[in-house]
Structure 1
Amino acid sequence: MRAPMRARRRAARATYLLPQAETSAGWARYLTTVFLTRGCGEEVSGEQVEDATLIVSELVTNATRHGHSSCRLRLHVDPGLVTVEVEDDSPIPPRLCAPDATDEGGRGIALVRLLARDFSVLGGPGGGKTVQAVLAAS
């Protein structure tokens, strides 16, 4: 007699293509919140949803503003982990800089690195890049 096979649970995934537009970061925040709270089929903490939404906003803004391209937002949810990936056409990696106290910007990547358990920038085929942030359960 054979033992019953257990179905392996697959990670929940979503991919969104966002245009190079001022409104893309807002759409990315909305799509991330809806996917993580209603569409992924996994339990995601409120803190993870908030952190992922903030990270998505920063990375999509950077991709559309500094990468000068549309971008692809990918969300992966495994038990206890949320992975955010933003891919754009620019080969230039994001800069981690120390802005002056009076600067209005320049703190986003530092914030992403602070919130994420893991942070990486991966080169892509054709010269683009993927910025990845992994959030662990709190």
Structure 2
Amino acid sequence: MRAPRRSRRRAARATYLLPQAETSARWARHLTTTFLTRGCGGGVSGDQVKDATLVVSELVTNATRHGHSGCRLRLHVDPGLVTVEVEDDSPICPRLCSPLETDESGRGIVMVRELTQHFAVRCGPGGGKTVQAVLAAS
């Protein structure tokens, strides 16, 4: 007699190239929602989809606006985790300090850090950087 087989979800990945354009963040939100709800094989909660979409929007906006380049969006789903990576060509790291009450911008990275279990910025050898945010299951 055989033991019943447990189905194990495999990791799913997607990579998208986005231009330096005002519409890139909107397109990234659409791609993220579609991938997490249909393309990765399931296992992603509705809260993770919402949080990941918000994180992607902020990171892609920063990459295209402040990085002065297009960007590469990578999504990786493991059981219980969604990893978002946005890579751009700019060597300038995002501002990681808390904004003052009078600042008109600068709250996005603070929000991303609050929504994620892990947040990191890695500088690449060619001068660009990758911003990584990992969201855990709620």
**TM-score (normalised: structure 2):** 0.91
Instruction: Give the residue type in structure 2 aligned to 1:81.
Output: L
Deviations 1:63-83 (A, max 9, x none): 000000000000000000000
> Cα deviations across residues 18-45 of structure 1 (Å, max 9, x unaligned)?
0000000000000000000011003100
Q: Contact conserved, 2:9 with 2:79, CA < 8 A, in 1?
A: no
| Alignment-derived partner of residue 13 in structure 2 | 13
CA contact (8 A) 2:98 2:107 kept: yes
Q: Which amino acid aligns with 1:79?
A: P
RMSD: 1.9
2:118, 2:134 within 8 Å by CA — same for their partners in 1? yes
What's 2:48 paired with? 48
- In the alignment, what sits opposite 2:57? 57
Do structure 1's residue 37 and structure 2's residue 45 form an aligned pair?
Answer: no
Give the 4+ runs in structure 1 shifted more than 4 A. Answer: 6-9
1:27 counterpart residue number: 27
What is the count of residue pairs matched by the alignment? Answer: 135
Structure 1: any 5+ residue segments left out of the alignment? 1-5
In 2, Cα distance between equivalents of 1:100 and 1:119 = 21
In structure 2, the residue matched to 1:3 is: none
Runs of at least 5 residues in structure 2 that lack an aligned partner in the other structure:
1-5
- Greater CA deviation, 61-70 or 103-112? 103-112
User: Are 2:70 and 2:88, in contact at CA under 8 Å, matched by a contact in 1?
Assistant: yes
Aligned to 2:3: none
**Is 1:129–2:129 an aligned residue pair?**
yes
Partner deviation per Cα, 1:52-95 (whole Å, 9 max, x = no partner): 00000000000000000000000000000000000000111100
Quote the Cα distance in structure 1 between the aligned partners of 2:7 and 2:44: 21
Q: Among all aligned residue pairs of Structure 1 and Structure 2, give the percentage whose two residues are the same amino acid.
A: 82
**Superposed displacement of residue 124, structure 1:** 1.3
Q: How far is 1:9 from its partner?
A: 5.2
Report the more deviating stretch, 83-92 or 7-16: 7-16
Query: What is the DSSP-based 3-state SS (H/G/I as helix, E as strand, rest coil) of the residue aligned with 1:91?
Result: coil
CA distance in 2, matches of 1:88, 1:8: 34
**TM-score (norm: length of structure 1):** 0.91
